Amino acid sequence: MSDSKNTRNGRPGARGPERRKPATPSNRPAAVQPARRIALEVITAVREDDAYANLLLPTKIAAARLDTSDAGFATELTYGTLRLRGYYDRVIELASGRPIDEIDGVVRDILELGAHQLISMRTATHAAVNESVELARQHASRSATGFVNGVLRGITRTPASEWLDRAMESAADDDERLAVASSHPAWIIRAFRRALTADGVSDTDLAFELDDLLEADNTPARLSLAALPGLIDREEVGEGTEPAPLSPIGLRAPTGDPAGIAAVHAGTARVQDEGSQLAALALSRARPVEAGERWLDLCAGPGGKTAVLAAEARLGGAVVIANEPVPARAGLVRRAVEALPEPPEVWERDGTAIGTDAPESFDRILVDAPCTGLGALRRRPEARWRKTPGDVAELVALQQRLIDSAVRALKPGGLLAYVTCSPHVAETRGQVQGALRRWDGQLEQLDAQNVLREITSDAVVLGGPDAAVQLWPHRNTTDAMFIALFRKTTA
């Protein structure tokens, strides 16, 4: 639905002033397009309830029965606003003369949504402003409607191309200027710079690589699918899909609702980033599978990697157990694997205690550890505003406990894959070095780069100074997945 269709003065169905009563809060018609209403609901839920936009938005779109056009509009409104909210907040501060933290939460959400339409989308000014004012009338105070109207009209008085210059001029230093321009918190920019350096990027190339990475984070990812081995060949999925460049089970899918693809609906193919596929395949294909092996996915939710591991294990006669301590996420794991003829058992245990409860019980273990999620910002843009530097230390401590539990639960000679969807050095190479120190003489690192070269037929650009693999969105068009492989050497 276009913004101008059946619309006069931003209110659908208006027939002219001679037939319209004076607009008052009691009789003024609600003129907000459903796509805008849904986008605001998701953005507010992300801010207030720590909701995940990628889970909530499809549910709301389906419940509202939006057509393809309006669903696409709602998606761009939601993800575009969340992705660039740091930049829009600076613009709003300049246009309002008020610090962003002094603006009421839902009013801030409405202003960010309006700013996205005015600055980054080809949205009619009257539609963006009028419907934002109507959202403020419905969700905030009467005074907020005038404030929203004034700020957004102030934004329209400066060309969109000039706002970036004005915003950057207000920054205090180079990192803050880059943070404004890329709409990333400055601490994440510094973490990315350290991660690129740790991955072998030279000082000469660092600024260019960082710019490319930040740009890739702000570019929506293409829809990727995994064809579960033994259930369907990727050539059989069809419906406009094409083989992915890196993963041997991966596909690139056309835009739209993936549930409309028959194989996805049946569960034999799943929406999954290629980096996640490679992380699971690195463990399952690091060496030939022997019948009777027992595998453990220690941190299984929401179940994408579990599904790949279980399909691979089934072909080799191995058995997979999935563990996910959060009941709701354990339910997602069960749904992820229900298409398999014999779905794996799903535990709901404390992963840090499994090594003590079940010592030397598994031949292969995947530790897809909880992390900051900085590697998936193009898919989950709100994650950049969700985490703070203070979260890293707590996550690193948990990751260490999970690694140690996995080593205890691993049989001598067993394989361990440590995976994070983050390039942060403390969560990646720092954890590898720490595990090798703590388990000196009992754990050796394997060459994950060689394993992935064989899996991908050398299609993936690897590099890096050691045996671990750090994928990057700007190099590999995947999430920034980190993969390290180990073998337990002694009892």
Task: Please name the helix (run of DSSP H) or strand (run of DSSP E) that holds residue 120, with its range, or none.
Answer: helix 105-120
pLDDT tens profile 417-473: 999 999 999 999 999 999 999 999 999 999 999 999 999 865 566 667 889 999 999
What is the predicted pLDDT for the residue at 160? Answer: 87
Q: Angle 274-284/448-456 helices, nearest 10 degrees?
A: 110
Contact 298, 330 (CB under 8 A): no
pLDDT of residue 465: 81
Sign of the C-alpha dihedral, residues 38, 41, 46, 49?
Answer: negative
Sign of the four-CA dihedral 82, 51, 252, 74 = negative
Q: Yes or no: say if 383 and 184 are a contact pair by the CB < 8 Å rule.
A: no
- Confidence tier at 254 by pLDDT (50, 70, 90): confident
Query: How far is the C-alpha of 117 from the C-alpha of 39, rounded, in Å?
Result: 12
Segment 376-404 shows an average pLDDT of 95
Residue length of the chain: 491
> What pLDDT was estimated at residue 459?
59
Percent of the chain at pLDDT above 90? 83
* Cβ-proximal residues to 159 (8 Å cutoff; 6+ apart), any chain: none
Looking at residue 8, its pLDDT comes to 31
Instruction: Output the pLDDT for position 181.
Output: 92
> Looking at 371-385, 450-464, 472-486, which range is the least confident one?
450-464
Q: Nearest to residue 182, comparing CAs of 84, 321, 263? A: 84
Helix (H) or strand (E) holding 415: strand 410-420
Q: Which two tokens stand for residue 132?
A: 């934002």
The mean predicted confidence, pLDDT, of the chain is: 91
199: its two tokens: 């991955």
Which is nearest to 381 in space by CA: 241, 247, 188, 123?
188
Of 29-38, 73-82, 177-186, give the lowest mean pLDDT range.
29-38
The predicted structure's pLDDT at residue 30? 55
Reduced to 3 states (helix: H, G, I; strand: E, B; else coil), residue 11 is strand
- Of 489, 478, 425, 415, the closest CA to residue 448 belongs to 415
CA–CA gap between residue 214 and residue 86 (Å, rounded): 13
Inter-CA distances, 404 with 359, 453, 467, 476, Å:
11, 28, 20, 31
441: left (phi over 0), alpha (psi -120 to 50) or beta: left
- Residue 285 scores a pLDDT above 60: yes
pLDDT at 304 over 60: yes
Task: Tell me the C-alpha to C-alpha distance, in Å, between residue 213 and each of 193, 411, 440, 449, 476.
Answer: 10, 39, 35, 21, 11
Q: Cα–Cα distance between 68 and 48 in angstroms, integer? A: 28
The residue among 233 and 18 whose pLDDT is bigger is: 233
Across 282-303, average pLDDT = 97
Per-residue model confidence (pLDDT) at position 491: 57
Q: Tens digits of per-residue pLDDT, 139-176?
A: 998 889 999 999 999 999 999 889 999 999 988 899 99
* Tally of CB atoms within 10 A around 144: 20
* Band of residue 7 on the pLDDT scale cut at 50, 70, 90: very low
Please list the residues that pair with 468 across neighbouring strands: none
Alpha carbon distance 157, 44 (integer Å)? 27
Q: Is-contact 208 474, C-beta < 8 A? A: no
Residues with a catalytic annotation lie at 421
Residue 266 pLDDT exceeds 60:
yes
Q: What is the CA radius of gyration of the chain?
A: 25
